[in-house]
Amino acid sequence: MVSREQFRKIALYCDEYSCKDRDELDLKSSKDEHYESCLNCIHYNEKGLCDLDLVDKVLSSLSMEQDLKS
């Protein structure tokens, strides 16, 4: 399971991230809607999955980058 913080990091590093319509986001009340996040991406579907299947790829890339810094 991916945490909200991880969703935010993924959005920062994902080349395909594209924010949903701002008007749609303004209708929601959650504070998370104001951050770049997979949850706000046009590729994130109602099933809770990335249509482009990039979540695991970006997380793996971030993990490898972190390992190199260690």
The total number of residues shown for the chain amounts to 70
In whole angstroms, what is the distance from residue 13 CA to residue 22 CA?
21
Radius of gyration of the chain (CA): 13
**pLDDT grade for 17, boundaries at 50, 70 and 90:** very high
pLDDT of residue 27: 52
Tens digit of each residue's pLDDT (9 = 90 or more) over 23-37: 655 555 455 556 789
Sorted by where each begins, the domain ranges of the chain are 4-69
| C-alpha closest to that of 11 among 19, 3, 21 | 19
